[in-house]
Amino acid sequence: MNLGLIRLRHFRNHTDTTIRFAPGTNVLLGQNGEGKTNIVEAVSYLGLTKSFYAANDAVACQLGAESFEIEGIILSDGGIEHHMRVAYSREQGEKVCTVNHARPESLSSVVGRFPVVILSPENSAITFGGPADRRRFMDMVLSQLSRLYLDDILEYRRAIRQRNRILGEIKVTGARHTSELEPWTLNIIKYGSRIIYRRLSFVRDFKNPLSDSYEKITGAEEVPGVSLTTVDGLDSEPSVEKIELRMSEKIDEVCGDEFRRGVSLVGPHRDDLALTLNGKNLQRYASQGQHKTMLIALKMAEFALMREQRNEVPIFILDDVFSELDEQRSRNLIGVIRDCGQTISTTTEESRFHGAIEWNSQNKKFSVSNGVCTET
């Protein structure tokens, strides 16, 4: 898949910027604060309908503007051209998305249609942060791979909110409204078991791409590992039905604790993606350099898995990654991304690409200064 053209209007510090990308390596050059990351943030809106950088759409409006608009022309690997538009109005507090000039049934239905993989310092919480950050990573990958998974996640979150509301009332009043609680319990078992099943499958599929990616970056003998910490007592490859049964058993076991604490204690909202290096817990024992390398390997493995399972090569965004790496690992990474289809990188250091990329119709570099982007 290729993003042939993108246009930003009143987005961050870009008043009206149009960029025609090459199908291979694209590099956005410029000092910090000039608008490089704003461009790749706009690309994330086309793939995910939201920013990878900010939780609030309103902050992406240019200072003094009441709205922003992003348009893209995307060419699928099958040769089909698509027009994508995302617009946000601060006054109406509404975000509108159109695909080929028609509004989809929902914003979530667009996620995964134009797959994108984003590697940014903003992702550092995947390795440094808590379980919620790693669950978010899994959910983003799986939501782009499967619309059904995204639907299950949305239904599960709704069920957990309602169940926790009732448990909170039980904690305060002491009255056990089990009849009101039961339908939401059944829903978290139904949707939660399917989510856990898909996450377990994801981890199995992810192990080899992760090992391969880590080795390509470092050339070292360090061995990365990944596993899912979830509901205990499951087989190594359980069916959805077995997960349902085990979730039901666990909920029965902890129901007293749930009533006392006022929250749901069983389900995929408590999962963690456990990361290891040479068999040791990454969070406890890894150096900063190893954390950075693991993050890059995770994102490269995400790209490889998505390319394999979607039969559509994602757009690979690398935002301010090379300044985090030594020269050798930068060279290794550039060597890898040359074979990744279309990539869009931001950097302050053009020298990292000297001798590694030949600039032509397949590979382009751009200068970004004060919200203006120029091909160089």
pLDDT of 204 reads 97
pLDDT of 323 reads 80
CA dihedral of residues 309, 313, 314, 317 (deg, nearest 10): 130
pLDDT of 376 reads 92
Whether this prediction's pTM lies above 0.85 is answered by yes
Tokens read off for 35: 């608008």
The residue-averaged pLDDT of 339-363 equals 93
Return the domain boundaries, the chain: 1-115+315-376
Mean pLDDT of the chain: 95
pLDDT of 324 reads 75
Q: Does the CA dihedral 341-82-368-32 come out positive or negative?
A: negative
Q: Is the pLDDT of residue 38 over 80?
A: yes
CA distance linking residue 298 with residue 210, whole number of Å? 6
CA distance linking residue 147 with residue 207, whole number of Å? 23
User: Is residue 38 within 8 Å of 22, Cβ to Cβ?
Assistant: no
Q: What is the pLDDT of residues 231-272, one digit of tens each?
A: 999 998 999 999 999 999 999 999 999 999 999 999 999 999
pLDDT of 355 reads 86
Report how far apart, in Å, the C-alpha atoms of 46 and of each of 87, 97, 99, 294, 359 are. 11, 9, 10, 27, 26
Nearest partner of 67 among 80, 57, 52, 55, judged by Cα: 57
Q: Is the pLDDT of residue 327 over 90?
A: no
CA dihedral of residues 187, 189, 190, 195 (deg, nearest 10): 120
CATH 3.40.50.300 for the 1-115+315-376 domain, yes or no = yes
pLDDT of 92 reads 93
Q: Is the pLDDT of residue 91 over 80?
A: yes
> 């995947």: which residue's tokens?
126
pLDDT of 53 reads 87
CA distance linking residue 210 with residue 344, whole number of Å? 21
Q: Kindly report the three-state secondary structure assignment for every residue of 242-308.
A: HHHHHHHHHHHHHHHHHHHHCCCCCCHHHCEEEEEECCEEHHHHCCHHHHHHHHHHHHHHHHHHHHH
φ, ψ of residue 60 to 5 degrees: the values are -85, -10
Tokens read off for 133: 């950050």
Report how far apart, in Å, the C-alpha atoms of 259 and of each of 111, 142, 250 are. 37, 32, 14
pLDDT of 102 reads 97
